[in-house]
Amino acid sequence: MDALASYTGLEFAKWVLAPGKWTASRVSSFWDRYVYFVGLREENDSLRATLAEAAQELALLRERAAEAERLARLLTIRPPVGWSRQGARVISHRLGPNASLETVLLDKGALDGLMVNTPVTGPDGVIGRVLRLSPTAATVLLVTDPNSRIPVTSQKNRTQGILKGEGANREMAVQYVSLGAPLEEGELLVTSGLEEIFPKGLPVARVTEVGRKGPSLFQTVYAEPLFDARRLEEVALLAKDPEGRDGAGPVPGEAMAEPQDQKPGADPVTHTPSPRVIPPDPSGRAPGLEPPRPAAAPAGERRKPARSGP
């Protein structure tokens, strides 16, 4: 009887209990996994949020590092003797239907000591000059505008010419270069200072092509600017020091001095070079800037302007 009870009652009880135990075990396991996954999900969400914050912070820090690098390059500009410098940010490029010239808008204006024709430079060379002013903003005419003309001298051979813009993303033309005048491709063009706006010796462009076309009495010369207008973010403004002191020290944010020989009534776009002749710089080195780097945009991207002899 005892054996029978074992073989029946015990077996029955086992078959009753076992599925329950199996179910309980499964449910328990499922619950544990569910709780675990919920925890995992929460942890995952938390980690994702942390990662997003870190990525945002990283992007911000990278932006600041890039800005610091740009500003550091800007601070390498050593103003020529008798000139002071202050920095400014580019807040916009051409703005509105009447913005016909190649211009940028700066966050500094008349209250910061700027005047019409104040020279504007970047780490690599001349960018342009102030065209219009408001109390806290200024419009800068870029040297690449077709209405900009700057008397320049080649740094090595001291050949003179007039650098004329041909528009955005186009190479500039160097006009009135005599047929016999020596000029090499790759040679740097610096301001001659004859127009009495820019200090003498600031790099402006690099010669890309020297040739002769037709019966013209002048060479056909093209040059690329030393900056990319689309990437301009910070610039330096130069002003003549009224006391004539050495302007080598950086003066960020300091109000600029009023240029002594500024002609308020002068046309800010076109100007005639003064007949005063300045002898070439014997050192052959630009006094204001460090050796310029190549322009940010590859030369291949720039279009050649329409060929027309000067």
Stretch that binds another protein, among 66-74, 90-98, 107-115, 184-192 (CB under 8 A): 90-98
281 contacts: CB under 8 Å, gap ≥ 6: 200, 201, 287
In whole angstroms, the minimum distance from the beta carbon of 114 to another protein comes to 16
Q: Compare residues 150 and 289 and give the one whose CB is closer to another protein.
A: 150
Distance of CA 140 to the CA centre of its chain: 14
Alpha helices per DSSP H over the chain = 2-5, 11-75
Q: Can residue 92 be called a binding residue for another protein (CB under 8 A)?
A: yes
Residue 70 exposed, middle or buried by CB count within 10 Å (0-12, 13-18, 19+)? middle
| Whole-number Å distance between alpha carbons of 130 and 250 | 21
Q: Give how many residues touch another protein by CB under 8 A.
A: 23
- 88 belongs to the binding site for another protein (CB under 8 A): no
Q: How far apart are CA 221 and CA 211, in angstroms?
A: 6
- Does position 18 interact with another protein (CB under 8 A)? The reply is no
Is 208 an interacting residue with respect to another protein (CB under 8 A)?
no
Binds another protein (CB under 8 A): choice among 20, 97, 264, 282: 97
C-beta of 110 vs 181, nearer to another protein: 110
Determine the interface stretch with another protein among 88-96, 114-122, 181-189, 284-292 (rule: CB under 8 A). Answer: 88-96
Asked whether 125 and 220 are in contact (CB, 8 A), the reply is no
If one asks whether residue 269 binds another protein (CB under 8 A), the answer comes out as yes
Binding characters for another protein, 135-164, by CB under 8 A (x = yes): ----x-x----xx-----------------
Does 134 bind another protein (CB under 8 A)? Our answer is yes
Q: Record the tokens describing residue 178, joined without a space.
A: 């005599």
C-beta of 229: minimal distance to another protein in Å?
12
For position 98 contacting another protein by CB under 8 A, the verdict is yes
Q: Are strands 126-133 and 160-164 parallel, antiparallel or unpaired?
A: unpaired
Tokens 């001095």 appear where?
Answer: 257
94 near another protein (CB under 8 A): yes
93-98, long-range: CB < 8 A, 24+ apart: 93/229, 93/230
- Residues near another protein (CB under 8 A) are 92-101, 103, 105, 131-132, 134, 139, 141, 146-147, 167-168, 269-270
